[in-house]
Structure 1
Amino acid sequence: MTGFGNQSVYIKQVLLLFIIAVALNYLWEVAQAPLYAGLEDWNSVWRHCFVAALGDGILVWLIFVVGWLTFRRFDWYVQPNGQALAVMLAAGLSIGIGIEWMAVNMLGRWAYTVDMPLLPGLDVGLVPVVQMLLLPPLIFRIAAWWLAKSV
């Protein structure tokens, strides 16, 4: 699948990726909430984590686009090889470090509690960076399985 031949299939793929990404990232966001300052009140955690998961869904889309541009195939993640996994991991690592660094150090959007392990030299949280390394390959795998099942 290259180009834009069957747009309904492409829309289905992109929406499926986003839904799976938001769902899995929401669970991760809730689990890591105690590592962020200001999220001690569980009443605000649910909404905050949902908004964060929506942003994470967009970041997974960004990883998808990087793969699409790299391999020039819309379905590049369906049967991933070592190169596809390397693209997922490199994009996830870059995005994870970049977003955390900007949000914490430049924009002051969030801060960590003392319990957040930090990447040495970068002073960004290890847990959210690992999130962008572990979840995208899982998300792409689930989406590929779902799409194959629905054909």
Structure 2
Amino acid sequence: MEFNITKLINLPEFNLAFFSFAFHFVWEFIQIPTYEGMAELEHLQGVLVCTQATFGDVGIALVAFWAASISVRSRRWITSLRPLPLAVYWLTGIAITVALEFIYTEITHRWTYSELMPLVPPLGTGLSPLMQWVLVPLLVVFVVRRQIRD
């Protein structure tokens, strides 16, 4: 069986993961001051923490993508962009983010928000990670949609 780079590049999941990584990676660095202790880390340690968080973001994006795919029974929903799969994708990502932020800040204390992080009621989710999952996935969908050929 021969490896075909064109087939790989045209997979919706490949594009979604690639562009999600690129855009979320940038966002992770922008929001460093809003997390306690992040700005004081050694450079390499900060890069590693942001990279790990970005891989988590890519995982959330893929789960949200597959939820949207199940809702319309097609992995190619991103090319025709209808309201239902877009809403499922977007809301799934936001719901997972809110849940994980709650778990990691309130239950396991894996990270803490700095005084610069505005909180969104009722769960006290940080505004920055919430806005990340409001804006970045829509940008990713726009770019992936232009990238994939039917």
Deviation track 1:12-40 (CA, whole Å, cap 9, x = no partner) reads 32122111111100000000011001102
Query: What residue ranges of structure 1 are gaps of 5+ in the alignment?
Result: 1-7
- TM norm structure 1: 0.86
The alpha-carbon deviation at position 9 of structure 1 amounts to 5.7
| Matched ranges for 1:1-151 at <5 A | 8=7, 12-41=11-40, 43=43, 44-148=45-149
Q: Answer yes or no: is the 8 Å Cα contact 2:28–2:54 preserved in 1.
A: yes
Percent identity (aligned):
25
Aligned length: 142
* 1:103 shift after superposition: 1.1
**Residues 35, 116 of structure 1: 8 Å contact kept:** yes
| Separation in structure 2 between the aligned mates of residue 127 and residue 45 of structure 1, nearest angstrom | 17
Q: Cα RMSD (Å) of the superposition?
A: 1.8
8 Å contact from structure 1 (residues 13, 143) kept in 2 = yes
Structure 2: gaps spanning 5 or more residues: 1-6
The whole-number CA distance in structure 2 between the counterparts of 1:90 and 1:99 is 14
Report how far residue 41 of structure 1 moved. 2.5
Q: Aligned in 2, Cα 1:116/1:78: closer, same or farther, shift over 3 Å?
A: same
